[in-house]
Structure 1
Amino acid sequence: MGRRKSQRKNVAMLDSDEDNSSVSSSSTARSDLMSVSGAGDVQVDKDSLLEQALDALYEKRGSTREKALAAIIEAFNTNLRHQFVEKKFATLLHQCLNSIKKGSSKEIALGCHAIGLLALTVGSGDHAREILEESVAPISHALKSSSDSLKTVSLLECLAVVTFVSATETEETERSMQIMWQLLHPKLGSNVVAVKTPAVVVTAVVSTWAFLLTTMDGCSLNSKDWQESISYFSTLLDKDERSVRISAGEALAVIFETGIEKLAAENKTTPDGSILEGNKYRQGYTHILGLKSKILNQVRSLSAEAGGKGSTKKDLNSQRNLFKDVLEFLEDGYIPDISMKIGGNSLHMSTWSELIQLNFLKHFLGGGFVKHMQDNELLHDVFGFTPKRKNILGVEHQMTSGEKRMFQSPNSVLNKARTQFLNKQRMLSKDRNVGHFAFGMGDEDSR
Structure 2
Amino acid sequence: MPRSRKGSAPRKGGPRRRGGAQSSAQADSGSSEDEAASEARSTTSDCPSLASASAEDGLGGDAVDEQGQQEDLEEKLKEYVDCLTDKSAKTRQGALESLRLALAARLLPDFLLQRSLTLADALEKCLRKGKGEEQALAAALGGLLCVQLGPGPQSEELFQGLQPLLVSVLTDPTASPSARLHCASALGLGCYVAAADIQDLLSCLTCLEGVFGRPCSAGGSTAPANLHGVFCATLQAWALLLTICPSSHLSHILDRQLPRLHQLLSSETVNLRIAAGETIALLFELARDLEEDLTYADMDALCGALRTLATDSNKHRAKADRRRQRATFRAVLHYVEGGDCEEETVRFGLEALYVDSWARRRVYAAFKDALGSGLHHHLQNNELLRDVFGLGPALVLDAAALKACKVSRFEKHLYNAAACKARTKARSRVRDKRADVL
TM-score normalised by structure 2 residue count: 0.71
Gap change, CA 1:62 and 1:39, over 3 Å in 2: closer
Which range moves more in the overlay, 118-127 or 338-347? 338-347
1:126 to 108, 131, 153: 153
| Aligned match of 2:248 | 219
Contact 1:373/1:380 (<8 A) preserved? yes
Please name the residue that 1:177 is paired with: 205
Question: Which of 214, 225, 239 pairs up with 2:267?
Answer: 239
2:360 aligns to what?
354
One-letter identity of the residue aligned with 1:379: L
Q: Distance in 1 between matches of 2:47 and 2:361?
A: 38
Task: Provide the residue aligned with 2:389 in structure 1.
Answer: 383
Of structures 1 and 2, the one scoring higher in RCO (CA 8 A, sep 6+) is 1
Task: Report 1:313-328 matches (<5 A).
Answer: 313-328=319-334
Task: Please give the alpha-carbon distance, in whole angstroms, between the structure 1 residues aligned to 2:124 and 2:349.
Answer: 34
Using a 3 Å threshold, how does the CA distance of structure 1 residues 370 and 264 change in structure 2: closer, same or farther? closer
What CA deviation, in whole Å up to 9, does each residue of 1:241-276 have, x standing for no partner?
1111100011111111112454679xxxxxxxxxxx
The reply on whether 1:394 has 2:401 as its aligned counterpart is: yes
Gaps of 5+ in 1: 1-10, 13-29, 187-193, 266-284, 399-447
1:296-335 residue pairs with structure 2 within 5 A?
296-309=303-316, 311-335=317-341
Residues 235, 276 of structure 2: 8 Å contact kept: yes
Q: Which residue of 2 aligns with 1:206?
A: 235
Output one character per residue of 1:46-89: Cα deviation in whole Å (capped at 9) or x when no partner. Answer: 22211111111111110010011111112112211122112111
Taking the aligned partners of 1:331 and 1:40, their CA distance within structure 2 comes to: 54
What amino acid sits opposite 1:325 in the alignment?
Answer: A
1:374-415 superposed Cα distances (whole Å, 9 cap, x missing partner):
2111000101125655324325999xxxxxxxxxxxxxxxxx
Shift of 1:39: 7.5
Match of 2:345 among 339, 344, 363: 339
Unaligned runs of 5+ in 2: 1-21, 24-40, 58-67, 215-221, 406-438
Q: Give the secondary structure class of the aligned counterpart of 1:71.
A: helix
Deviations, residues 316-338 of structure 1 (Å, cap 9, x unaligned): 21111111111111112311111
SS at match of 1:339: strand
- How much has 1:199 moved relative to structure 2? 1.5
Q: Matched residues in 2 for 1:199 and 1:159: separation?
A: 18
Is the Cα contact below 8 Å between 2:349 and 2:380 reproduced in 1? yes
- Paired residues of 1:129 and 1:167 also in contact (CA < 8 A): yes
Q: Show the counterpart of 1:250.
A: 278
Q: Percent identity?
A: 23
Secondary structure at the aligned position of 1:347 is classed as: strand
Match status 1:88 vs 2:85: no
Cα distance in 1 for partners of 2:197, 2:98 equals: 34
Amino acid at match of 2:299: K
3-state SS of paired residue (1:290): coil
Instruction: Name the CA distance, whole Å, in 2 between partners of 1:40 and 1:106.
Output: 20
1:158 aligns with 2:183: no
Contact 2:240 2:362 in 1 (8 A): yes
Distance 1:31 1:110, change over 3 A: closer
CA contact 1:100–1:108 (8 Å) conserved in 2: yes
Moved over 6 A (4+): 30-35, 39-44
Q: Which moved more, 1:291-300 or 1:116-125?
A: 291-300
Residue of 85, 88, 92 corresponding to 1:65:
92
What's the RMSD between the two structures over aligned residues? 3.1
CA apart distance, 1:196:
4.6
Q: Any conservation in 2 of the 1:54–1:68 contact (CA below 8 Å)?
A: yes
Give distance in 2, aligned partners of 1:38 and 1:48. Answer: 10
